[in-house]
Amino acid sequence: MKRIKRFSALLSLVLVLTVTLLPVFSVAAAAAPAHDEHYDVNGDGYCDIEGCTAFECPEHKDVDGDGLCDVTNCNACTAHKDEDGNGVCDVDSCKTCTSHKDADADGVCDSDGCTEEVILTNTIGTPKWTANIIEALKMMGLGLLGIFIVTGIIILVIYALNRVTNTERKNNNN
């Protein structure tokens, strides 16, 4: 009876922790940058530039210069884009492939102009650099908290498993 009570108490604790912590993680997830939080208020098929935060998706581009960032670029840009179809990748997308140059000085980086030079994109002292550090500090806090919470729950689950399997063995012996 005592063992059943202890096990019930343990299981209740696990359930309570899960129910309590799920909203915390939902809030954290909601607060975390999401690339699909783009808005198209005027319904013209392009996400509105104001809805695209500069930090979460810094590769927003406005190739056609209409004041709205192009919807295809609202996701994390890890590849070069050629929005205007002129055969060269757009210079803003060179962020993740920094070895491109703009040899013909036309404002877009040349896909043929790849050199070995790699440029650090966040020059020390710029607002982007500061924003990155703040974001990194947030991730550090959330990451350390998250890893301890997840491992804590796994520990409780292991204790519960050990209890259950030991209880079964004792019942079988009886």
The smaller minimum CB distance to another protein, of residues 42 and 116, is found at 116
Minimum CB separation of residue 124 from another protein in Å reads 5
The smaller minimum CB distance to another protein, of residues 39 and 148, is found at 148
Minimum CB separation of residue 65 from another protein in Å reads 26
Minimum CB separation of residue 168 from another protein in Å reads 7
Provide φ and ψ at 108, rounded to 5°.
-125, 145
The smaller minimum CB distance to another protein, of residues 72 and 162, is found at 162
Determine the Cα–Cα distance for residues 116 and 98; give it in Å rounded to an integer: 9
Q: Which residues bind another protein (CB under 8 A)?
A: 25, 29, 32-34, 76, 78, 95-99, 114-118, 120-124, 129, 132-133, 135-137, 139-140, 142-144, 146-155, 157-159, 161-162, 165-166, 168-169
Minimum CB separation of residue 161 from another protein in Å reads 5
The smaller minimum CB distance to another protein, of residues 67 and 152, is found at 152
Minimum CB separation of residue 44 from another protein in Å reads 28
SS (H, E, C) the chain: CHHHHHHHHHHHHHHHHHHHHHHHHHHHHHHCCCCCCCCCCCCCCCEEHHHCCCCCCCCCCCCCCCCEECHHHCCCCCCCCCCCCCCCEEHHHHHHCCCCECCCCCCEEECCCCCCCCCCCCCCCCHHHHHHHHHHHHHHHHHHHHHHHHHHHHHHHHHHHHHHHHHHHHHHHC
The smaller minimum CB distance to another protein, of residues 84 and 169, is found at 169
